[in-house]
């Protein structure tokens, strides 16, 4: 009988189907490791980035700095997040299931029956040990700049979870120019903290990506140079509201006038040319969801609006990349780059939410208060998103986008640049954000196993270390006979090997991802026993981690 492990792995797709993508072949390392020193660690997280937005993953947006890092490292085409941001962040920093790490649902979207329940606190509970705590105890300087989204109280701040220096946005998003900052505790709006103290004002000329990079560089400069560093750089770009400097937006004028279906086909062709997806892949078709249209059915004004939104979005990705370049330039100038592990990932699939029509408390008020004349789009006083058409262009060949337990919601663009690593190029080996803690703690010479830490009982790490795989000692990270499961917004998924079952609230579907990575052919009727076994495995997982299915329908999309 196959061994069963009920793990929360937010992704639900199997390893890539072709032998080419089953595992990267060993190759000479791009950078030599210094065995006498512990490695520095830099994690970069993009917010709502589409799978193919970055050039190295098939996109046309200008991202030379991320592309250069990806080309030196290992592109992870099988890496997965949760379907939404705060659950992913709880998993990434804890190494465990989001239901056990306090983010069984986003705190903003809790259903009535989830409020006040264990696993749905909206912050990291006391039995969670963060990655920063673990690395701090291994004598690392721990630094954080950007989006936190793991609680808004003073006791929830990064300063209380192992970071020596931190500058953070507590909420899940906000005006990229800081116009919605709260002036004092209790005000409605976004809250920013620096080293555990709430800020009443922001730095001059604040723009999220610029300021987050500037602050991290400042913290790197102040850090104890006798210690290795762990730096956590978490952008809010390109999360809505779509806002970017004029000079960056101008670079993309007219570039998206052909529409999202055309962009999708161009990116698919580029992914094939780069060896990221099989040549014969069958992509899931764009779904016309409630309130959305195909490009040909849009009016001239609607086309102009959609094109403009995508231009601004591209500018945000471009600007984020520029700031990644600033951080990398600092590491090179200070001689720290060659001994730094760099992990880049998005926090979920592309965001398809129609912000203008979303019925989410607080969001509707901000949209109504904004100056959303077309000529003002992208400016500090606008508040828009880009909708499901562009999101599905970015997640192709996968099905759907953020908020769903399908591949489009959970398979993310990611790469790791590991000094001294034995693998490069493209790897389709399955991985999850829960693997980050064991991988990096192991790289730092620490121990991550067990249910006790510093004399207290804690949630054990549920991810697996990538270190044996990256150093060439193993062929995979996760065993092929594991049952891996996930849930968010009542949407469920479970997989075993090449098989995946998914339930979006309308019954279970079954896919063989080796033959159908786009999740286009439902095999539920032809494989009823297999589907029943997978559904039973999900039930076991749900009981083990304490899933409370929401009493109200999902808000996304």
Look up tokens 């908020």; give the residue.
403
Indicate the DSSP class of residue 246: H
User: Residue 34 in 3-state DSSP?
Assistant: coil
Q: Which residues contact 22 (CB under 8 A, 6 or more apart)?
A: 15, 16, 428, 429
Tokens (6 digits) for 390 = 């562009």
The strand ranges marked E within 354-440 are: 414-417, 425-427, 431-432
Q: Among this protein's residues, is 306 annotated catalytic?
A: no
Tokens (6 digits) for 43 = 């994690």
- Cis bond upstream, residue 397 (ω within 30): yes
Give 529-534's long-range contacts (Cβ < 8 A, gap of 24+): 530/499, 531/501, 534/483, 534/494, 534/495, 534/496, 534/499, 534/500, 534/501, 534/508, 534/510
Question: What's the sign of the alpha-carbon dihedral 483, 547, 549, 385?
Answer: negative
Q: Which of 85, 161, 239, 483 is catalytic?
A: 85
Q: Among this protein's residues, is 149 annotated catalytic?
A: yes
Indicate the DSSP class of residue 516: -
Q: Where are the alpha helices (DSSP H) in 338-435?
A: 363-369, 387-395, 407-410
Which of these, 433, 419, 57, 396, lies nearest to 234 by C-alpha position?
433
Q: Which of 80, 99, 136, 149 is catalytic?
A: 149
Count of residues making up the chain: 557
Q: Which residues contact 35 (CB under 8 A, 6 or more apart)?
A: 420
Burial of residue 102, with CB atoms counted within 10 A of its CB: 0-12 exposed, 13-18 middle, 19 or more buried: buried
User: Could you tell me the end-to-end alpha-carbon distance of the chain, in angstroms, rounded to an integer?
Assistant: 39
Which of these, 454, 501, 37, lies nearest to 226 by C-alpha position?
37
Contact of 421 with 74, CB cutoff 8 Å: yes
User: Residue 75 in 3-state DSSP?
Assistant: strand
Question: What's the sign of the alpha-carbon dihedral 212, 244, 393, 400?
Answer: positive
- Cis bond upstream, residue 238 (ω within 30): yes
Active site residues: 85, 149
């Amino acid at each position: 009988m196959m061994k069963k492990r009920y793990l929360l792995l937010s992704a639900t797709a199997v390893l890539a189907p072709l032998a080419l993508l089953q595992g990267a072949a060993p190759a000479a390392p791009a950078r030599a490791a210094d065995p006498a020193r512990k490695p520095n660690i830099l994690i970069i997280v993009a917010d709502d980035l589409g799978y193919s937005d970055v050039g190295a993953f098939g996109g046309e947006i200008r991202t030379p700095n991320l592309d250069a890092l990806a080309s030196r490292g290992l592109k992870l085409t099988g890496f997965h997040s949760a379907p939404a941001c705060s659950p992913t962040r709880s998993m990434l920093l804890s190494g465990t299931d989001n239901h056990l790490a306090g983010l069984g649902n986003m705190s903003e979207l809790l259903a009535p029956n989830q409020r006040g329940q264990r696993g749905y606190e909206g912050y990291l509970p006391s039995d969670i040990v963060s990655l920063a705590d673990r690395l701090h105890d291994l004598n690392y300087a721990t630094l954080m700049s950007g989006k936190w989204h793991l609680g808004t109280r003073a006791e929830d701040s990064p300063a209380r979870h192992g970071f020596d220096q931190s500058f953070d946005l507590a909420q899940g998003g906000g005006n990229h120019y800081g116009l919605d900052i709260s002036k004092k505790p209790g005000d409605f709006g976004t809250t920013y903290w620096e080293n555990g103290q709430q800020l009443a004002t922001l730095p001059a000329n604040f723009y999220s990506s610029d300021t987050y990079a500037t602050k991290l560089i400042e913290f790197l400069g102040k850090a104890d140079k006798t210690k290795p560093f762990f730096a956590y750089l978490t952008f809010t770009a390109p999360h809505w509201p779509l806002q970017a400097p004029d000079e960056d937006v101008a670079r993309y004028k007219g570039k998206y006038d052909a529409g999202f279906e055309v962009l999708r086909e161009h990116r698919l062709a580029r992914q094939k040319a780069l060896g990221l997806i099989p040549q014969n892949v069958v992509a899931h078709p764009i779904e016309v969801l409630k309130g959305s249209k195909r490009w040909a059915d849009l009016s001239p004004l609607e086309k102009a609006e959609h094109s403009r939104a995508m231009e601004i979005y591209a500018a945000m990705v471009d600007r984020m990349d520029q700031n990644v370049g600033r951080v990398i330039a600092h590491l090179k100038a200070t001689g720290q780059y060659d001994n730094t592990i760099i992990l880049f990932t998005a926090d979920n699939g592309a965001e398809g939410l129609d912000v203008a029509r979303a019925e989410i408390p607080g969001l509707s008020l901000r949209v109504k208060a904004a100056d959303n004349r077309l000529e003002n789009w992208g400016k500090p006083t606008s508040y828009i998103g880009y909708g499901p058409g562009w999101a599905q262009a970015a997640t192709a060949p996968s099905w759907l986008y953020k908020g769903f337990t399908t591949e489009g919601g959970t398979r993310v663009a990611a790469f790791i640049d590991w000094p001294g690593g034995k693998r490069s190029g493209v790897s389709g080996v399955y991985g999850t954000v829960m693997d980050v803690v064991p991988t990096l703690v192991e790289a730092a010479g620490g121990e991550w196993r067990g249910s006790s830490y510093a004399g207290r009982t804690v949630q054990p790490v549920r991810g697996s270390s990538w270190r044996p795989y990256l150093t060439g000692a193993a062929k995979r990270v996760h065993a092929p006979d594991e049952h891996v499961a996930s849930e968010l917004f009542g949407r469920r998924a479970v997989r075993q090997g090449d098989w995946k079952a998914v339930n979006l609230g309308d019954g279970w579907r079954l896919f063989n991802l080796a033959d159908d990575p786009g999740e286009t052919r439902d095999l539920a009727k032809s494989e009823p026993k297999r589907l029943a076994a997978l559904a039973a495995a999900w039930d076991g997982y749900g009981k083990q981690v304490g899933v409370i299915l929401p009493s109200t329908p999902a808000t996304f999309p």
